Amino acid sequence: MFSLSVSAVTTRCHLFTALHRCVLTSNAGLTYSSTCIGSTSLTNTPFKQESKISAVRNLCTDQDCNVSEKTCPSTENGEVRVRFAPSPTGFLHLGGLRTALYNFIFAKKHGGTFILRLEDTDQNRLVPGADEAIEDMLEWAGIPPDESPRRGGPLGPYRQSERLELYTQAALGLVDAGHAYYCFCSTQRLELLKKEALRSGQTPRYDNRCRHLRAEQVQEKLSTGGPRVIRFRLRSGVEPFQDLVFGWNQHEVAQVEGDPVVMKADGFPTYHLANVVDDHLMGISHVLRGSEWLISTSKHLLLYRALGWSPPAFAHLPLLLNRDGSKLSKRQGDIFIQRFQQAGVLPQALLDLTTHCGSGFATNRIGRKMEDLISEFNPSKITTHSALLDLEKIPEFNRIHLEQRIEDEEQSDSLVKDLQEHIQKAYAEEIQDKDVLRGSYITRILRLRKGHISSLKELVTPGYSYLWVRPSVSYQQVAALTSETQHITSLFLRFIEAQGEELSVEALSKDLKTLAKSAKATKYRDVMKLLRLSLSGLQQGPSVAEMMVSLGRREVIHRFQKLLLLSPIS
């Protein structure tokens, strides 16, 4: 049984009266008329007695209810307001991120407002913590909302569970105007209808039985206080609408569907009613959402007409699919944004990848930053074809964007801090020289490795441990390479001691080749192996010259001196 709490009616008068009339002020933007829809007290079971709902009698019949496009805040003065409205029944994934991104870009392209609204009316499927995590991930991705549950805003609340009075009044107004009706069909009856339709090879649909109940029958059933829902009365003659992506569309929903539920027995609205009410009251000018909602738009337009409101413009985005054409699924653990964050994927790389595989931009190059995406965005270039997402390209995109961040002084500072945390977490007990945590040292490493690494986390893998921890090398290891260890090491030690503090990879590469010729019986290749082993304890890795520049003159001297001290019993 759904009910209406009225304790907030007076304090939230400005929201309720928006169901009647919206006007613009010259300075503050949107304000509402001072006339509240009622000081009349509503009971906690508003559908039990029709006499108790006189406050919303004229919701959809008064002339004041007809909010034309000229008086709505979304279109007056061309203001653009868009929203991303996920359900916190799961964490944010790539499909949702792309929808949020296109809305964000569209808003910023037109100097508008990007809103996050949480559609949490499916209380049985809510995932604890998902609501906070969704906004966390939008902020991490660099597309923070202007208005949201966390940030607030002039047209909140921004959780649907906190707006129930608005939906209840809209639903009651639809009933009163003859656009909706109470349905008392039991779950068992509805299940039988579904089974019978499937058995006969038909699409399950409600048979609209309760729309034909007489007024006295409705009153009798309401008086019992039993469970009931409200259904919207579908009508034929749906007007075609022009989608900004898919062009002209029209779906005669009344011919293929039964009357849909708009208010459930638990007092929560369904998506169809809630999104229409919220989009109107929040002044949404453009609805950019997934193409799976395209077929439902005609139904929503019928609701707009019944409520006397002008609808926003619609743009349905083509689906984001896996590379093989299969649908992205929440069961795929690798599509959740938190997984990418934890794996060290940069948000810019993720946004670049999701737009690169789709359409809607003047160019389709790798390495675009947010300002590029905004300037190059063109909704007319969005195609109706599904976008195929190739997650195997993430390392390539991340490498390019990591290189850009390293080259940017301000962003490089944040990378240094992040890498410091990774180093301390990976090698806290093993670090012998705390200088490896200095910003100047880490910055040098980043600049030398840019273009070679795809994520910061690579720099704390075993292949780069020599940068942070002095390696352990045995006499047997060096003896397997050459019998001239002492001679070669002394030669290179004297060379590096004669160098200044500033080392150059290019100059060192030339000098190392020249010095290697001084070895009597050791080939150049084995000389380099000996030097690499003494510097890193590894047989593979960056060039010896880069290793020396990375470590710095003082540390290279220390490691060469340590090599000279090796003996058969060490």
pLDDT of residue 109: 96
Distance in angstroms (rounded) separating the CA atoms of residues 411 and 407? 8
Looking at 35-49, 468-482, 508-522, which range is the least confident one?
A: 35-49
Reduced to 3 states (helix: H, G, I; strand: E, B; else coil), residue 339 is helix
Task: Quickly tell me which residue has 């039964």 as its tokens.
Answer: 258
- DSSP character at residue 111: T
Phi and psi at residue 402, to the nearest 5°: -65, -40
Give percent of the chain with pLDDT exceeding 70.
85
Residue 568 has pLDDT above 60, yes or no: yes
Say how many C-beta atoms besides its own lie within 10 A of residue 176's C-beta.
18
> Which pTM value belongs to this model?
0.82
Contacts 24+ apart (CB under 8 A), 371-380: 373/101, 373/105, 374/105, 374/108, 374/109, 375/109, 377/105, 377/106, 377/109, 379/106, 379/244, 379/245, 379/315, 380/244
Task: Quickly tell me which residue has 């001084």 as its tokens.
Answer: 518
The arithmetic mean of pLDDT across residues 431-442, rounded, is 95
Task: Quickly tell me which residue has 């019986």 as its tokens.
Answer: 521
pLDDT of residue 497: 96
pLDDT of residue 40: 26
Name the residue among 399, 375, 521, 393 with its Cα closest to residue 451: 399
* 330 is an active site residue: yes
**Residues 34-60, buried b or exposed e (16+ Cβ, 10 A)?**
eebbbeeebeeebbbebebbebbbbbb
pLDDT per residue as tens digits for the range 91-119: 999 999 999 999 999 999 999 999 999 99
Catalytic residue, candidates 195, 327, 330, 417 = 330
pLDDT per residue as tens digits for the range 519-548: 989 999 999 999 999 999 999 999 999 999
- DSSP character at residue 65: G
Query: Which residues 6+ apart lie within 8 Å of 16 measured at CB?
Result: 9, 36, 37, 165, 166, 169
* CB-CB contact of 11 with 54 (8 Å): no
Give the chain's end-to-end CA distance (angstroms, integer): 82
Query: Which residues 6+ apart lie within 8 Å of 17 measured at CB?
Result: 32, 33, 34, 35, 36, 37
pLDDT of residue 199: 95
Looking at 191-195, 198-202, 320-324, 532-536, which range is the least confident one?
A: 320-324
pLDDT of residue 57: 28
pLDDT per residue as tens digits for the range 117-156: 999 988 889 999 999 999 999 999 999 999 999 999 999 9
pLDDT of residue 69: 33
- Whole-angstrom CA distances from 341 to 140, 321, 337, 346 are 8, 21, 6, 7
Name the residue among 232, 200, 179 with its Cα closest to residue 59: 179
Residue 354 has pLDDT above 60, yes or no: yes
* CB-CB contact of 95 with 300 (8 Å): no
Looking at 76-85, 353-362, 495-504, which range is the least confident one?
A: 76-85
